[in-house]
Amino acid sequence: MTVETRTTIQLGDITEVEIECTKCHARIIWNPRDADHFIPLLCKKCDTPFFIRNSQEHRDLLQLLSLINTYSHTGNYHLRFSLGNPEATRSCPILTKE
């Protein structure tokens, strides 16, 4: 007999969404349940540009945060995502919103 273990999450399981600077590895974390999200255009620690103001990518990230919240509360179905390697973790400094 073969046993396969699958790890899935629902959008309601997501408590934080983070962005990590590829240069200094600082992170910014958002709670998708918050009403408004401020997404900076630059890294607050090293000023590496993240987004172009009003770009599609910047707007899409704002929408993604909103959609996570919207689809966390589904009615007659469960929307699930499988994780490839849930044991993978990262350790990085965290920048908080100001």
Positions that interact with Zn ion (CB under 5 A): 21, 23-24, 26, 43, 45-46, 48
CA pair distance 39, 97, nearest whole angstrom: 9
Question: Measured from the CB atom, is 37 or 45 closer to Zn ion?
Answer: 45
CB atoms within 10 A of CB 65: 20
Compare residues 28 and 65 and give the one whose CB is closer to Zn ion. Answer: 28
Nearer to Zn ion, 43 or 61 (CB): 43
Closest approach, Cβ 20 to Zn ion, in A, equals 9
